[in-house]
Amino acid sequence: MTSVPHRRVALSLLAHPDDAEILCAGTLIRLAAAGWEIHIATVASGDCGSATLGREEIAAIRRQEGAAAAERIGATYHCLDEPDVKVVFDRPTIEKVYHLMRRVAPTLLFTHARHDYMLDHEVVHLLGRAGAFAYSIPNASSVPLVPGSAIPWLYYCDPVEGRDPYTQEAARPTTMVDISGQIERKCEMLACHASQREWLRSHHGMDEYLEAMMRFSAERGRQFGVPFAEAFVQHRGHPFPQDDVLATVLSATNVVGA
């Protein structure tokens, strides 16, 4: 039987500012419309996201862009301020994740796929999985527990381009969310990250930043007969929730046999 949590708090814990807007913003928009409290967190600050600006300057800009994008859907933005391309799975970083999750107390968590094109994403996968399992353990953090804290439903977003970078096989989702009605707002959120959009526009001579996101959302949509979709793999290891809460809350497609 599928259950719906009394606490409806969703957290995306991803590597960089703009990752949520590319990978799961449409789903977050739908959850917000369904009355969920939304939090968007990045482990890294985005300090390597420019070819011309210094690390502190571009990091400050990217944090502001992340907050602006989150504000568009009434979400709260958090940044753990780890450096780009140097995200590691160590005690201090794990503690940052535990502390954040203790304050937010998510009942639904999105993080990166296990295999992705860059190691920051893969390390954040481990950090998110560790946090989901352990944040509600009383002795795991000095931050007080929010009543009702428990192991959340955990979903992994698509890897970039939807493929395993080692085998080039297409990622097989367990859950598909129709975001056709949210694609314009998703574009607006992604466009808030102007520092990245402008850099890629000047480098490629086209608005590839938005077009790539639209193209892949449409590709996932075609696979399930809708204009645009986002795909996820649900973590069903012991002792995580086994039912597909997205299928219940959003009438998402549960991919049989995945």
**What pTM, to 2 d.p., does this model score?**
0.95
Q: What is the mean predicted confidence (pLDDT) over 151-175?
A: 92
pLDDT in tens, 181-215: 999 999 999 999 999 877 777 666 656 888 899 99
Collapsing DSSP states into helix, strand and coil, what is residue 231? strand
Q: What is the mean predicted confidence (pLDDT) over 156-162?
A: 92
pLDDT of residue 203: 61
- Among 89-103, 121-135, 163-177, 179-193, which stretch is predicted with the lowest mean pLDDT? 163-177
Percent over 90 (pLDDT), the chain = 81
Q: What is the mean predicted confidence (pLDDT) over 217-224?
A: 94
* Superfamily of chain region 9-236: LmbE-like (3.40.50.10320)
Q: Where are the domains of the chain?
A: 9-236
pLDDT of residue 30: 97
pLDDT of residue 1: 43
Q: State the residue for tokens 């990752």.
A: 19
Query: Does the pLDDT at position 147 exceed 60?
Result: yes
Q: Please, which pLDDT band fits residue 256 given cuts at 50, 70 and 90? A: very low
- In the chain, DSSP finds a helix count (H) and a strand count (E) of 9, 8
Query: Does the pLDDT at position 64 exceed 80?
Result: yes
Give the span between the Cα atoms of 125 and 116, in whole angstroms: 9
- Among 45-54, 100-109, 123-132, which stretch is predicted with the lowest mean pLDDT? 45-54
Query: Does the pLDDT at position 142 exceed 80?
Result: yes
| Chain mean pLDDT for the chain | 93
**Residue with more model confidence, 228 or 4:** 228
The rounded radius of gyration (Å) of the Cα atoms in the chain is 17
pLDDT of residue 254: 76
**Residue with more model confidence, 254 or 158:** 158
Query: Does the pLDDT at position 4 exceed 90?
Result: no
- Among 24-38, 57-71, 161-175, 224-238, which stretch is predicted with the lowest mean pLDDT? 161-175
pLDDT of residue 99: 98
CA distances (Å), 132 to each of 66, 128, 181, 195, 202, in order? 23, 6, 30, 31, 39
pLDDT in tens, 67-107: 999 999 999 999 999 999 999 999 999 999 999 999 999 99
CA 249 to chain centre: 18
pLDDT of residue 255: 67
Helices within 10-139 (DSSP H only): 19-23, 25-33, 55-71, 91-104, 119-134
